[in-house]
Amino acid sequence: MTLIRSMLLGGTAILFSSATAAAHTSYMLPSVFNTSEGELVTVQCSFTEDFPTPEIAVKSDDYHVVLPDGSRDAFDTQTDLRQLVVLENGLDSEGTYRLTTGVRLGRQSKRALVNGEWVPVFGANAEVPAEAIEVKTAQTETVADVYVSKGAPTWDAIAPIGRLAFVPKTHPNEIFSGEAFDLSVTFDDAPLAGQKMSVYRSGGHYEEPQFGIEQMTNEDGEISLTIDEPGVYMIMTRHRADAPEGAETDERGYTTSLTFEVMK
């Protein structure tokens, strides 16, 4: 059995899980994470319940690249298919690139407070239960990221995007098997304590039990992962909060994911 060591910063309790399906999480998957002389990277983006099998193409108006100097640029090419989006970008400069969907607003939904419990109201024309005492509308907001480095990894492209953000302490292109990958989770730039994080591995669904880690951030919103098996992984988290002022709904359901490679 693959050995996974997973511990929280600050010495709090370890939590293991054969994490369930990723529930249509968006992800970015590049053709390469680190390269010394590569001139091009190709990225696929999709929603999946079984990382990294593409299921539904991610339609975003905010796809972009953060260049090694920290400036923003558009992808060189974008091809929209039914199950995935394929993007290409040149690697003209040395350093680390952030490849991202940007902030993507998704479907709207509704839920009603009935007998002390919030229940979903499915369908745009569905009737709210007569016994409901309160109704709230919501919309999804997602961000999916990946980092690619040409030559030595750099830090200028690594900055939070969106309200729910990962802030790496270990460079995402310098994660090695048996060594800690440290990052923090913030919401509106404040640390999220006790936030559940889920980790999936490419091919992990072939294992018995299915591979997965679920772990909570500590009181400072930090998490530390030590993974012994090299491979491609995705870490993701979800958070519900009041929508920002001027939004079309009362709440937003936030999901952020980061794809990364664990090297030998």
Residue-level pLDDT at 203: 87
Structure tokens at 41: 């990277």
Mean pLDDT (the chain) is 90
Q: Which residues contact 42 (CB under 8 A, 6 or more apart)?
A: 30, 31, 86, 87, 88
Answer whether residue 18 shows pLDDT above 50. Answer: no
Q: Which of 50, 144, 164, 57 is nearest to 104 (CA)?
A: 144
- Judging by beta carbons within 10 Å of its beta carbon (0-12, 13-18, 19+), is residue 164 exposed, middle or buried? buried
Highest mean pLDDT among 112-121, 132-141, 254-263: 254-263
**Residue 148 has what pLDDT?**
98
CB 163 within 8 A of CB 254: yes
The least confident of 12-26, 93-107, 241-255 is 12-26
Residue 38: pLDDT above 60? yes
113, pLDDT greater than 80:
yes
Res. 164 pLDDT band, cuts 50 70 90: very high
In this structure, of 6-20, 147-161, 167-181, 235-249, the range with the lowest mean pLDDT score is 6-20
> What is the pLDDT averaged over residues 123-131?
81
Per DSSP, 59 falls in state -
Rounded to whole angstroms, the Cα distance separating 260 from 249 reads 33
Going by their DSSP bridges, the two strands 251-262 and 231-242 should be labelled as antiparallel
Give yes or no for residue 114 having a pLDDT over 60.
yes
> What pLDDT score does 7 carry?
39
Residue 204 backbone phi and psi in degrees, to 5: -65, -20
Least confident of 102-106, 130-134, 163-167: 130-134
Q: What radius of gyration, in Å, describes the C-alpha atoms of the chain?
A: 19
